[in-house]
């Protein structure tokens, strides 16, 4: 972003055009390279429940990988709405969404992977998985979920979230909140849940 597309808001338009010309797959995804610095999202996204979220990009195609240069060097100022798509991957970046009710990643009926991503400083949740009607999976490796209302809010019996060597800290309420019977896996010696204002891990009904 910056060389071929002026702003990150223009990325989905380019992906829509190019995806109509060729097929991208899980093995050969559309790759979005994000350079150093701040990448500000100014567009809004409306969820399938009809709620509009400011400074959020809606992901509308399968098989997309976003690659930054590192947690300390590439920052997304805004968040991502991910519904009814699969094989969406984020690597090597920080995502922060300070808009009212803003989440770093808001997902439903989707399959997402996070590798070396910090989601922090969000007005709402670092990652929010709402109740789904089809199998929904999140796999996060060496990620940080911090300084938001919730680190990870995981809803629904069709949802599976796996966290490998991830840290959940300094959130206003819970580090991890699981509701409505999701499946949550925590792996790795570097996994840590600490300094959250209410519960580290909260499992309910």
Mean pLDDT of the chain: 95
Mention every residue, 6+ apart, whose C-beta is less than 8 A from residue 83.
47, 48, 58, 59, 107, 108, 109, 110
Is pLDDT at 57 greater than 70 in this prediction?
A: yes
26-44 pLDDT, tens digit per residue, is 999 999 999 999 999 999 9
Average pLDDT over residues 42-71: 96
pLDDT value for 10: 87
pLDDT confidence bin for 56, thresholds 50/70/90: very high
pLDDT value for 2: 45
pLDDT confidence bin for 11, thresholds 50/70/90: confident
Is pLDDT at 6 greater than 80 in this prediction?
A: no
Is pLDDT at 15 greater than 70 in this prediction?
A: yes
Mean pLDDT lowest for which of 11-25, 30-44, 93-107, 116-130? 11-25
* Rounded Cα gap, residues 157 and 132, in angstroms: 8
Is pLDDT at 103 greater than 90 in this prediction?
A: yes
Identify the CA nearest to 127 among candidates 100, 102, 92, 110: 102
pLDDT value for 4: 65
Task: Give the residue with greater pLDDT, 22 vs 165.
Answer: 165
What are the angstrom distances between the C-alpha of 199 and each of 87, 173, 174, 195?
31, 7, 5, 9
Is pLDDT at 95 greater than 90 in this prediction?
A: yes
pLDDT confidence bin for 205, thresholds 50/70/90: confident
Tell me the percentage of the chain whose pLDDT exceeds 70: 97
Q: Which residues pair with 186 in a beta bridge?
A: 163
pLDDT value for 100: 95
pLDDT value for 155: 97
Is pLDDT at 9 greater than 90 in this prediction?
A: no
């Amino acid at each position: 972003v910056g060389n071929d597309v002026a702003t990150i808001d223009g990325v989905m338009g380019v992906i829509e055009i190019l995806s109509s010309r060729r097929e991208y797959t899980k093995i050969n995804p559309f790759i979005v390279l994000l350079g150093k610095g701040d990448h500000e999202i100014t567009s809004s996204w409306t969820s399938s429940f009809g709620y509009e979220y400011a400074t959020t990009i809606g992901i509308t195609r399968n098989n997309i990988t976003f690659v930054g240069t590192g947690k300390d060097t590439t920052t997304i100022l805004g968040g991502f709405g991910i519904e009814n798509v699969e094989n969406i991957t984020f690597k090597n970046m920080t995502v922060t969404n300070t808009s009212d009710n803003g989440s770093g990643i808001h997902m439903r009926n989707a399959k997402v992977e996070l590798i070396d991503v910090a989601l922090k400083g969000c007005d709402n949740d670092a990652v929010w998985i709402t109740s789904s009607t089809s199998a929904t999976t999140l796999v996060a490796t060496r990620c940080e979920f911090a300084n938001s209302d919730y680190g990870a809010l995981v809803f629904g019996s069709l949802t599976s979230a796996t966290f490998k060597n991830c840290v959940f800290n300094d959130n206003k309420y819970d580090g991890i909140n699981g509701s409505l019977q999701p499946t949550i896996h925590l792996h790795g010696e570097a996994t840590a849940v600490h300094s959250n204002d209410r519960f580290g891990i909260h499992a309910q009904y």
